[in-house]
Amino acid sequence: MTDDTPAPYDRGLEVLRDVYAGDVVTLPDGTMAFNDVMVRSLFDQVWRREVLDVRSRRLLLMGVIAANGQVDTWKIQARAALKRGELTPDELRETLVMLAPYAGYPNVAGLVVPCEEVIGTWVADGSPTWDGDEVSG
């Protein structure tokens, strides 16, 4: 009898693909130690916990990203939130309004234009959504 339970790495990759609406490059297990640990611990263990849903986790993560003024990472999260239907464009904009007094206006101000770029691209692409297997528009 064989155990058909996916390995932690495979479960983590599945969650990683889902969290980022398929917009990720995944590496085979054993390719890079940093990636292996991240997939097994962050995506298999943390993101799979049932206490918070993905949207709540994403909002927390976006707060940390905004506090650090991480433009590229903000764009990745914003795009995934739109594609997964977690946030609308107006809700995404509102996160910046809410975060500015807490994360600092200089940090958040640098995210406004990139956020609008992500929204504009998402709309121009037909507002595609992720169904868990692929993105459809």
Spatial neighbors of 33 by CB under 8 A, at least 6 apart, are none
Query: What tens digit of pLDDT does each residue of 89-100 get?
Result: 999 999 999 999
- In the chain, where are the structural domains located? 8-46, 54-136
Which pLDDT score is estimated for 1? Answer: 47
Are residues 48 and 15 in contact, defined by beta-carbon separation less than 8 angstroms?
yes
pLDDT(124) > 90: yes
Buried b (16+ CB within 10 A) or exposed e, 46-68: ebeeeeeeeeebbbebbeebbee
CATH no., domain 54-136: 1.20.1290.10
Query: What tens digit of pLDDT does each residue of 1-46 get?
Result: 467 778 999 999 999 999 999 998 899 999 999 999 999 999 999 9
